[in-house]
Chain A
């Protein structure tokens, strides 16, 4: 089973700054199978990125995803007040067929 490790655990930044979040897989993951979610307190997760770099419907272009193999990155180019939240990466494996989530990165206001 593929394990996803997210770093850092917490990122303390100010509005307007750039956020770079990392997701590392224990085995190579197809880019098609890597997604990112945002979750705010008391809310369900929201899909931000699928296929490693494609933005989901309605997601602002300040969110971008990149990476391949075992290393993937979510970048928020300029943090808006509503972007302070927890972010999860997720992979969708085929052998064995399973879905796994990373442990999350909290982006907090500095």
Chain B
């Protein structure tokens, strides 16, 4: 059974750097085709894709946020970490990590999400 869980601060100040960790089980991020993505959702708004890392360490970023994002993986710990610099109140959102199965161009299993508020 695949599960993912996001963790990180619930409150960050403007200009700070956000670091979120996705801890997963039930799959290996060294298996060919597998990926883990980050998606966020501001309150009452639509989903927005942020970043994706593949089993071979290939990384993809949202073009509009690329300069602020870094995604990394620690295969031995079954974790994926997302950092977002220069946080702003508009970055207030629920942040989800999700599993991408090899051969699927979609996210088939999602974490429960973690709410992050940006406020001074």
Contact = CB atoms under 8 A, between A and B. Distances in A.
Contacts, number: 63
A103 B113 CA distance: 19
Given A1-B63, A99-B37, A50 B108 contact: yes
B46 A104 contact: yes
A102 B108 CA distance: 17
Secondary structure dominating the interface of B: loop
B46 A102 contact: yes
A101 interface: yes
Nearest to A100: B49
Given A90-B106, A98-B62, A103 B111 contact: no
A52 to B, nearest CB: 10
Interface of A: 1, 32-35, 37, 39, 44-47, 50-51, 56-57, 88, 90, 92, 96-104
Interface of B: 37, 39, 46-49, 52, 60-63, 96, 104-113
